Structure 1
Amino acid sequence: MDYNSKIHSTLGALLADPTSYRRLIGKLLYLTHTRPDISFVVGCLSQFLSSPTSSHFQAATRTLKYLKGSPGQGIFFSSNNTPILKGYSDSDWEACLDTISSVTGWCFFLGNALISWKSKKNQNTVSRSSLEVEYRALAMATCEAQWLLFLLQDLCIPHTTPVTLFCDNKYALHIAANPVFHERTKHIEIDCHVVRERLQNNTIHILPVSTSLQLTDIFTKSLNPSPFRKFISKLGIINIHMSACGGC
């Protein structure tokens, strides 16, 4: 996706027949189950199914070109792995130009294998600050961590240590550790309770991470090629064709 500009509903001329655009987006949505690297762009383009424009179709075609250039790319699951959960959460404030809504993203690893990820626009509320959206993202990731623990329990896979959650917003980390509510948190009180409860019962353990190492940036915004390729590698997404050639 073009990282120099943000796409919106009125960009370009309306398509005379939106059927081809809708069919294409439907196929791309199916691919997001195994290609997390296109989750953000597909989620963004899915907003314009009712009235797609030529610019939207051009962006979807750009995604197709990217997929054609890497048909063997996918998530790698190693046979030698440690069943320890860790996750990352992040949010991009006012990412949508049409609704001024933020985009939330998270991803979870079991050992080194990516097993859960999400790129989602927050449609219910317009947040007043970047702190609020960051903390809401942390709360959503906390709930996902709890669900993954229940899933491992059902599969009889023990997980005795807290799930490590990485967040790059220092104020969100301070609020999670501080049991006192104040003006910054009065709009997110329920989310504060969710995170603190999981912290107190050792379900999660929150740690800071540098913005340059925040893997969920790939799920919340369009990136230039260099960090995009770096994050893909760190997510454990490889191209089996390139790997095979390297082995030869």
Structure 2
Amino acid sequence: MDSTKSWGNHTCSLSEESPTSFNGDDDSKIDLSQKLADVCFESKEDTFESIAEVSKCNDGYVLSQRKFTKELLQDCELDISKPANTPFPSHMKLYSDQGDLYDNATLYRCYVGKLNFLTNTRPDLDFAVQTLSQFMHSPMIPHVLALQHTLRYVANTVGQGILLRATDQLTLQAFFCDSNWETCPSSRKSVTGYVLLLCNSLISWKSKKQITNSKSSAEAEYRAMAHAASEVAWLVRILEELGLGSLKPVKLFCDSQSAIHIAKYSIFNERTKHIEVDCHFTRDKVLEDLIELTYIPTIVCSLVMFSLSNSHFLSSRIC
């Protein structure tokens, strides 16, 4: 099956024999495009197809892993007959030393590993997977129950994926960052999460536990903001190399007024004097006009990072 796409004076051809070939007038841009394509298609064809399936709709294209999801659920040894509306049980806290040991740790690791692969097109699973992954070494019954809930949610949303909207203007439109203070009940560490949108299309996201403890919620939010600013800086550089200009300043949305105030103004007081220097990376990017900090309500930030109540989660789903 062959396919050819054109933009400007450049043409990209896709075929089974030659995954990518480029033609055009600008040799430097052709060389850059060829290198990027070689990186994207360096894996085997069947592996690439299992990562994402592309389907067309009225609003654009949908990236999903329907086939992989069905294979994951087909021989599931856990009871997933009852559907779940959230990827993680609401208000559930998991501990590493509470509960009875699960007698099949290999099965737990297998399912969590497959769910981790599924997050390539399912940002709504990111928080649940990073939480479940912390107990791979010695899973207990409560951990398996949480895993079962996540699998029930996956079974209820088999075809869900990422919508890449069709648009004439390729601009980095919005960015959300958030942090849940002391999310981990064992280490009391916070969880960082961010979502990056290109023309209302999801292109980058992360949910990860912070490596250090924060003394306040404002500090936890400020650390999350630093991680988000780093991702913005990297992505802006990549997009500019591909010829997309006028991206700056990128709006960085955050639900903490205190963190925004710390990043905008050089104020070192009891709340900020203990924060590491690398966290002030955000302030540098604000001064460089790379990012513009904007306040946004908490509910919008919470899709990737935290499991919400059923009604709130369903109303804030973006993919």
> TM-score under structure 2 normalisation?
0.69
Matches within 5 A, 1:70-109: 70-80=157-167, 82-85=169-172, 86-109=174-197
Aligned to 2:311: 226
1:155 corresponds, among 234, 242, 245, to 242
Q: CA deviation at 1:65?
A: 1.3
1:6 corresponds, among 74, 85, 93, to 93
More helix by share: 1
Q: CA deviation at 1:189?
A: 4.6
Q: CA deviation at 1:161?
A: 2.8
Q: Which whole-Å CA distance do the structure 2 matches of 1:17 and 1:41 have between them?
A: 20
Aligned to 1:119: 207
Residue identity over aligned pairs, in percent, reads: 42
SS state at 1:97 partner? coil
Say if 1:164 and 1:204, in contact at 8 Å, map to a contact too. yes
Q: CA deviation at 1:81?
A: 5.2
Determine if the alignment matches structure 1 residue 49 to structure 2 residue 136: yes
Determine if the alignment matches structure 1 residue 19 to structure 2 residue 106: yes
State the one-letter code of the partner of 2:308: L
Task: Give the aligned CA root-mean-square deviation in angstroms.
Answer: 1.4
Q: 1:111 to 1:190 in 2, by over 3 A?
A: same
Say if 1:152 and 1:159, in contact at 8 Å, map to a contact too. no
Q: How many residues align?
A: 231
Q: Which whole-Å CA distance do the structure 2 matches of 1:89 and 1:58 have between them?
A: 29
Aligned to 2:13: none
Matches within 5 A, 1:148-227: 148-191=235-278, 193-212=280-299, 214-215=300-301, 217-227=302-312
Q: Which whole-Å CA distance do the structure 2 matches of 1:60 and 1:192 have between them?
A: 34
Say if 1:75 and 1:114, in contact at 8 Å, map to a contact too. yes
Say if 2:126 and 2:305, in contact at 8 Å, map to a contact too. no
1:140 corresponds, among 223, 227, 231, to 227
Say if 2:181 and 2:191, in contact at 8 Å, map to a contact too. yes
Max radius of gyration: which structure? 2
Q: Which whole-Å CA distance do the structure 2 matches of 1:41 and 1:70 have between them?
A: 15
Q: CA deviation at 1:6?
A: 1.3
State the one-letter code of the partner of 1:158: G
Q: Which moved more, 1:78-87 or 1:42-51?
A: 78-87
> TM-score under structure 1 normalisation?
0.88
Say if 1:101 and 1:121, in contact at 8 Å, map to a contact too. yes
SS state at 1:184 partner? coil
Q: Which whole-Å CA distance do the structure 2 matches of 1:34 and 1:43 have between them?
A: 15
Which deviations, in whole Å up to 9, do the C-alpha atoms of 1:197-218 show, x marking residues without a partner? 1111110000111223x32x12
Q: CA deviation at 1:101?
A: 0.7
Say if 1:32 and 1:38, in contact at 8 Å, map to a contact too. yes
> Which blocks of at least 5 consecutive residues in structure 2 are unaligned?
1-87
Large movers: runs of 4+ above 6 Å: none
Aligned to 1:110: 198
Q: Which whole-Å CA distance do the structure 2 matches of 1:26 and 1:81 have between them?
A: 38
Q: CA deviation at 1:167?
A: 0.9
Aligned to 1:32: 119
